[in-house]
Amino acid sequence: MNPVSPGFRGRPRDMAGRLPPGQYPTEDFPVLSAGPTPRVPTESWSFTVTSESGHTHRWTWQEMMALPQQETVADIHCVTRWSKFDTRWRGVPVDAFLADVETAAGHVVVSSHGGYTTNLPLADVLDGQAWIAHTFDGYPLAPEHGGPARLLVPHLYFWKSAKWVRGMRLTLDDEPGFWESAGYHNYGDPWREQRNWGD
């Protein structure tokens, strides 16, 4: 008896090397949130970077839009097992916000409107690996997807790409965020299936 169903031809070739283990591809962009969707007008939006010494740098929406902008195309992977290929974003690389910040920190805690936080190693948001994204697929980022701006760190599970971003605090010690404190993996590498603390 043939154990493979008729019509099954395996993964398309263009997925080779792009789909992490345990993931399935989707054309959709599922909306998953832990609470109500904040509605933050760009007129009152701001983004802050606070060093470990407590010194704060702040940008308004207009000031952020005046910073160097980049477009990036990235595959994104959610811990709930969906992956979306070739997503198109525009935003400001995190490097631009940290260019004038003196720090000995090794970690960051990212905060969002609505009280959500997530933690990352500082090295994972530098060197063109992360952006404050305000545009998706050519349109302003919708509130349900984190607009007006979200963190984008596509090489980690998507919960690390915090929606409705409002600030980044540099820390000497690692401080688990909202989902990490609830049992999600502290780092979240999709290629190693780091979904939970025990993974």
pTM of the model: 0.90
What per-residue confidence (pLDDT) applies to 30?
77
pLDDT single digits (tens) 56-80:
999 999 999 999 999 999 999 999 9
Distance (Å, whole) CA 159 – CA 165: 12
Distance (Å, whole) CA 152 – CA 161: 5
Q: Is the peptide bond before 3 cis (omega within 30 degrees of 0)?
A: no
Closest CA to 111 of 122, 119, 100, 103: 119
**Going from the N-terminus, what domains does the chain have, and what CATH number goes with each?**
44-192 (3.90.420.10)
**Residue 7 clears pLDDT 60, i.e. is over it:** no
